[in-house]
Amino acid sequence: MGAWGHNLLDNDTACDTFARLTDPKAEAPVAEIFHTIEEYSNPDTFSGYIEDDEVNEILVCILLVVGFTDKTLIEVRTDKSINKYFTDKISKFLKQHQKTFDDSVKVDYYEKSEKLFERILDVEKSETYELWNEAGGEDCKSWVEMVTKIREDLVKVTPQSI
């Protein structure tokens, strides 16, 4: 686990995923976000243990879905889990791709994202949780709180028709 902190963008995979999605040369970043959520939430193709890199990729994608749905949940983070550098980059990305998201989003992506949290927050199904659990103490607690905050934000923005 190439992590230097417990926050979402405090590890190599999350930063690499974020950089890939926000690269100006990225051809279809919104489609990639949806594809990631679809791929890892589909029990026919992926129902097993989620590796550390996969967890971090999923969390970045879900965070962006939350941001597309309600930018204030990204721009005004009271938990300080995203520093200003990333908040500014996320805001720019959201503005650039908002129309594509609005034209593409389906309610089931919210439901699929929620199901992914059930696995991410299960030490038996998530390598990342397992690694933080082994580290123990405040670091594990802080990581769980960060993931739980993203999950709570997802619940806030989920359309009521689910």
Domain borders along the chain are 12-157
User: If phi over 0 gives left and psi between -120 and 50 gives alpha, with beta otherwise, what is residue 157?
Assistant: alpha
User: Residue 124: what residue type?
Assistant: E
Cα separation of 47 and 88, whole Å? Answer: 35
Tens digits of residue pLDDT in 1-59: 578 888 888 899 999 999 999 999 999 999 999 999 999 998 888 878 999 999 999 99
SS3 readout for 100-139: HHHHHCCCHHHHHHHHHHHHHCCCCCEHHHHHHHHHCHHH
Cα 154 from chain centre? 10
| Between residues 125 and 5, the one the model is more confident about | 125
Contact (CB, 8 A) for 59 and 150: yes
Give 26's contacts (C-beta < 8 A, 6+ positions apart): 20, 32
Give the pLDDT of residue 78: 60
Tens digits of residue pLDDT in 66-95: 999 999 888 776 667 788 888 899 999 999
Cα separation of 90 and 104, whole Å? Answer: 19
Residue 50 three-state SS: strand
